[in-house]
Structure 1
Amino acid sequence: MTISLVQFRGADGARGVAVIGDDDAVRVVPGATTTLALAQQAIADRRSLRDVVANAGQGQAIDLSTVTLLAPIDHADSAHLLMTGTGLTHLGSAEGRDKMHRAIDSAATQTDSMKMFLMGVEGGKPADGQPGAQPEWFYKGDGSALIAPGDALPSPAFALDAGEEPEIAGIYLIDADGAPVRIGFALANEFSDHVTERGNYLWLAHSKLRPAALGPELLIGDLPASVEGTSRIVRGGETIWEKPFVSGEANMSHSIANLEHHHFKYALFRRPGDVHVHFFGTATLSFSDEVRTEAGDVFEIAAAPFRLPVSNPIAIAAPAPVAVRAL
């Protein structure tokens, strides 16, 4: 059994949290203003988040169409929310990346991307509980780059591409002892610049420094072994591209536990009080089908057991002059 938490802002500007139960009924969590505060309370009380929500009592029913939906997790100080991710983690995920890099070096017998992918296939799901193969890892930004449901995803003026990546993200809080605690999972669009990445795989780090969007729901409980959904791009009210995608460990070359280990093994990422949004990767990209997005295009990503989709239009950010001066 799973429940989902949704953060919202009412017409009066006040924040609240709602719970979506197994019966799809949506009710306010009495006294709750943020999911982070609920998670902090659960850790302090040594209880599950589900128990904390249940013990808060049954609040009034709410129609989510009457409120402003927020990202399912945030932090009052955006510097204490970190967004990171891992790539080449899904069965089939090497195909698009390998195609990019072979276009650069047609003489290559096996690209670094394919080597990384095969390392995951061979050792990404260790059965003995020990750390497995190390995945590709990247940094996306802090909480200032987390885009709310329905808001525009701003692509930098210097970007060469604005592409979607339909994924699942793990949401974590570091407790007072420096131990990472998984709060839940969210449906996500890990927005990237695939043209920049294609230019040289060493530019992957640049291509990932983009905003990202989460769906409104924070799924509390286990992620299904197989998550099946649909990713589409809508332009002018018409769907110009649509494709199914899969996630969950049954469709991955790495276990979630292995991806978590290789992120949180660094002490830097175990700072008490920090929130982490970690993207688990995908194997489905419109870019692989030669789609080139435009400002105003809308990304729509939906997948059960999440009831609500990730939906965001593309915007092009204004050029930002960068001038460095000496003191």
Structure 2
Amino acid sequence: MTLRLLQHRADSGARSVIAAQGDAAYFLVGVETIRALALDAIARGISLGDAVAAIAKGDAIDIAAEFEAGRLLAPIDHEDSAHVQLTGTGLTHLGSAEGRDKMHREATAAEVKTDSMRMFLEGLEGGKPAPGTVGQQPEWFYKGDGSQLVAPTDPLTMPAFAQDGGEEPEIAGIYIIGPDGQPYRLGLALANEFSDHVTERHNYLWLAHSKLRQASLGPELLAGPAPDHIEGTSRILRNGETLWERPFLSGEGNMSHSLANLEQHHFKYDLFRRPGDVHVHFFGTATLSFTDGVQTREGDVFEIIAAPFTLPARNPLKRAAPVEVAVKVL
């Protein structure tokens, strides 16, 4: 059975790590964070799964009840949020065979291709290179540091100046950098890579602005090899009722890039291999309510769920109060 790891904070503030397999879940005795567990596994030269197997089992726990109580945290963090990097890649998903064929036909029929379409087609051509070779580099963006990562049930807050607050149902890779600068993938997490699609649509060169937003992760870290096919549902709830709902696909079998290729083009930069740092890298999506004409409002709730994860990311939408920013000259 697939191993899932969760981070828990009791009402007292005490932190713990939970291991879950199937319907069973229990606390790991003496372990407070997944990051500490991972660093210990690296130091001992063993897998994350083997590290968990060697730890005494504590009390059983109902993770669904703890989720509803708001006691589950994002499945990775760092005591210094500046040492967590949130980044991502776009134009990586096929969506479906029909969508891919339609996009390809339209793109090849057009006399002038957009930069986005050219990048998508380049990913189709070279995004899954043979082992030992380097493939086409993807679109890449920066979202912020760990201060922008919110818990699975906490609000996603858009800035006062935002033109939109929209969901992006995705899978994120969770990484830690070892003492020698070696990146390690700890596993995958369900994600809502929250963005401002109105700003992005105005001019694609504003993509960088549109991505400087918060993001949320589902509470479970899926350890071990990445599934080739992940199928889930993204929905928006308004006043307790479903406003919009669509299935989404992820996993390498539904992508134009391999995870290895996306990872190579991220970690090839020295600044992303700083020992001890944590990276959350969003792998992209093909499903957005924005493309269906949905205009989100404060109070809407984004809910994203996908097997083999058993718990969702469920985040209400908020807007921050205006902040006056003025630079002073010294």
TM norm. shorter chain > 0.5: yes
The residue number in structure 1 matching 2:13 is 13
What value does the CA root-mean-square deviation take over the aligned residues?
Answer: 1.8
* Deviation larger for 60-69 or 160-169: 60-69
Whether 1:308 and 2:308 are equivalent positions in the alignment is no
2-structure distance, mates of 1:63, 1:91:
36
TM, length-normalised to structure 1: 0.94
Contact 2:218 2:312 in 1 (8 A): yes
Equivalent residues in 2 for 1:226-305, closer than 5 Å: 226-305=229-308
The amino acid that maps onto 1:321 is E
The amino acid that maps onto 1:20 is A
The residue number in structure 1 matching 2:73 is 70
Once the 2 structures are TM-superposed, how far is the Cα of residue 201 of structure 1 from its aligned partner? 0.5
The residue number in structure 1 matching 2:324 is 321
Contact 1:225 1:248 in 2 (8 A): yes
1-structure distance, mates of 2:142, 2:293:
26
The residue number in structure 1 matching 2:155 is 152
Once the 2 structures are TM-superposed, how far is the Cα of residue 92 of structure 1 from its aligned partner? 4.0
2-structure distance, mates of 1:138, 1:108:
28
Contact 2:95 2:249 in 1 (8 A): no
Secondary structure in 2 aligned to 1:222?
A: coil
Aligned residues: 318
Equivalent residues in 2 for 1:180-195, closer than 5 Å: 180-195=183-198
Deviations 1:206-244 (A, max 9, x none): 000000000000010112111000000000001010000
Deviations 1:18-40 (A, max 9, x none): 0111x320100110100000001
1-structure distance, mates of 2:175, 2:263:
10
Task: Decide which of 208, 214, 236 is 1:211's aligned counterpart.
Answer: 214
Once the 2 structures are TM-superposed, how far is the Cα of residue 108 of structure 1 from its aligned partner? 7.3
Deviations 1:64-105 (A, max 9, x none): 324611000000000000000000000149x89xx9xx9xxx
1-structure distance, mates of 2:62, 2:189:
21
The amino acid that maps onto 1:139 is Y
The amino acid that maps onto 1:15 is R
Could you list the runs of 5+ residues in structure 1 that have no partner in the other structure?
A: none
2-structure distance, mates of 1:175, 1:223:
20
The residue number in structure 2 matching 1:172 is 175
Deviations 1:3-27 (A, max 9, x none): 0001011122200010111x32010
Deviations 1:138-184 (A, max 9, x none): 00000000011110000001011101000000000001111101111
The residue number in structure 2 matching 1:49 is 48
1-structure distance, mates of 2:250, 2:161:
31
Equivalent residues in 2 for 1:116-127, closer than 5 Å: 116-127=119-130
Identity within the alignment, %: 67
The residue number in structure 2 matching 1:4 is 4
Contact 2:172 2:283 in 1 (8 A): yes
Could you list the runs of 5+ residues in structure 2 that have no partner in the other structure?
A: none
Deviations 1:38-67 (A, max 9, x none): 001000111111111111122110123246
Could you list the structure 1 runs, at least 4 aligned residues long, displaced by more than 6 angstroms after superposition.
none
Deviations 1:234-289 (A, max 9, x none): 00001010000000000000000000000000001001110000000000000000
2-structure distance, mates of 1:262, 1:3:
28
The residue number in structure 1 matching 2:26 is 27
Contact 2:95 2:248 in 1 (8 A): no
Secondary structure in 1 aligned to 2:316?
A: strand
The amino acid that maps onto 1:5 is L
2-structure distance, mates of 1:128, 1:9:
41
The residue number in structure 2 matching 1:59 is 58
Contact 2:173 2:281 in 1 (8 A): yes
The amino acid that maps onto 2:170 is E
Contact 1:2 1:222 in 2 (8 A): no
